[in-house]
Amino acid sequence: MSRHPLHPAVVHFPIACWSLATAADFAGLWFGEAAWRWSAGLLAVGCVMAVAAMVAGLVELARVPDGEAMRDAYAHMGAMLVALALFGTRLVLGLDDFRPLAPDAVALLLDACGFASLVVGGWLGAKLVYSHGIGQRR
């Protein structure tokens, strides 16, 4: 019987939602509310799904061998926790009575830093799969 880890299937949701939220906020500079209005919903879904992905990743952590792979796994987890903290902060600061606010300079900075952390975490996740063979059948 083959085993299908949940983590790789779930991570696509926060990656897509956070990336689109960042794009929506920056697009709002040119297109106004029609663009940035989507951001809060995307951030909320991304944060909820990130928690699900993190729980699934913790379950998979037991399969990561000690050494360089485990160091990369810890770095991956750290980068993704930073992304969650930044995007979560962006979400909370960007709401007024549960209504989204237009992104300001702080919001755009949180978006940019969150996206950078997401890219680093994604690269480290890919390194775990493609360099260390984590989650691949052998």
pLDDT of residue 72: 97
- Is residue 48 assigned to a domain? yes
Give, rounded to a whole angstrom, the gap between the first and last alpha carbons of the chain.
14
pLDDT of residue 64: 93
pLDDT of residue 114: 98
pLDDT of residue 135: 79
- Is residue 108 assigned to a domain? yes
- When divided into structural domains, the chain yields a total of 1
- Is residue 116 assigned to a domain? yes
- Is residue 136 assigned to a domain? no
pLDDT of residue 2: 46
Under a CB-based contact definition with an 8 Å cutoff, are residues 90 and 114 in contact?
Answer: yes
* Domain residue limits at 111: 7-130
pTM: 0.92
Tokens of 24: 């929506």
- Is residue 81 assigned to a domain? yes
pLDDT of residue 137: 67
- Could you list the pLDDT tens digit for every one of the 138 residues in the chain? 346 688 989 999 999 999 999 999 999 999 999 999 999 999 999 999 999 999 999 999 988 999 999 999 999 999 999 999 999 999 999 999 999 999 999 999 999 999 999 999 999 999 999 999 887 765
- Is residue 135 assigned to a domain? no
Under a CB-based contact definition with an 8 Å cutoff, are residues 22 and 36 in contact?
Answer: no
- Is residue 78 assigned to a domain? yes
Using CA atoms, how far residue 40 sits from 22, 32, 111, in Å, is: 10, 14, 12
- Is residue 72 assigned to a domain? yes
pLDDT of residue 1: 37
pLDDT of residue 3: 64
